[in-house]
């Protein structure tokens, strides 16, 4: 792939991140409003977007390691370290989304106190996923802005 292909992949990766963030925040809000079915649908769609976004991120990773990492760390070590942490926080968002989806599914299949416990677990995991997605997206935007300055 050439540079313009990587730029396009980066734009798609970031756009999917924005959509994912909006969807996770909306899902958490719908759950708080008392619409658990919409919450579950939002989590299911978010998990699919995460798979797509992860694929684009994986495709970009080799280019980052071979060409951009050293430049980024030389110009701005703090932003370089934030980018390194972004991957870990993104994995947290993925894990929490899937935990929320599993707990939501279990709550739909349970009765009584167990249903309420699974429902609370799904709610908190969904909020945690949204927070991790916000952190990941914010770091991604910061790194993208820094890379634009470096590449000038």
Percent of the chain clearing pLDDT 70 (strictly above): 100
Report the alpha-carbon distance of residue 27 to residue 148 in Å, rounded.
32
Cα Dmax for the chain: 60
pTM of the predicted protein model: 0.90
Token code pair at residue 37: 């079915």
Where would I find the beta strands (DSSP E) of 11-135? none
Report the alpha-carbon distance of residue 9 to residue 124 in Å, rounded.
32
Report the alpha-carbon distance of residue 62 to residue 74 in Å, rounded.
18
Closest of 82, 87, 37 to residue 60, by C-alpha: 87
User: What are the tens digits of pLDDT across the range 6-30?
Assistant: 889 989 999 999 999 999 999 999 9
- Average pLDDT over the chain reads 92
User: What are the tens digits of pLDDT across the range 109-149?
Assistant: 999 999 999 999 999 999 999 999 999 999 999 988 888 88
> Residue 68 — very low, low, confident or very high, per pLDDT cuts 50/70/90?
confident
DSSP string, 49-63: HHHHHHHHHHHHHHH
Burial code (b: 16+ CB inside 10 Å, e: under 16) for 40-70 equals bebbeebbebbeebeebbebbeebbeeebee
């Amino acid at each position: 792939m050439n540079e313009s292909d990587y730029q396009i992949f980066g734009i798609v990766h970031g756009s999917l991140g924005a959509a994912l963030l909006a969807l996770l925040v909306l899902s958490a809000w719908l759950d708080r409003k008392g619409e658990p079915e919409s919450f579950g649908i939002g989590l299911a769609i978010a998990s699919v977007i995460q798979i797509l976004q992860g694929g684009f991120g994986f495709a970009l990773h080799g280019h980052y390691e071979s060409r951009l990492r050293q430049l980024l760390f030389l110009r701005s070590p703090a932003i370089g370290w934030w980018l390194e942490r972004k991957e870990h926080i993104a994995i947290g968002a993925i894990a929490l989304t899937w935990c929320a989806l599993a707990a939501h599914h279990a709550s739909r299949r349970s009765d009584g106190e167990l249903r309420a416990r699974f429902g609370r677990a799904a709610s908190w995991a969904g909020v945690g996923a949204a927070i991790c997605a916000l952190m990941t997206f914010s770091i991604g935007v910061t790194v993208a802005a820094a890379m634009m300055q470096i590449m000038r």
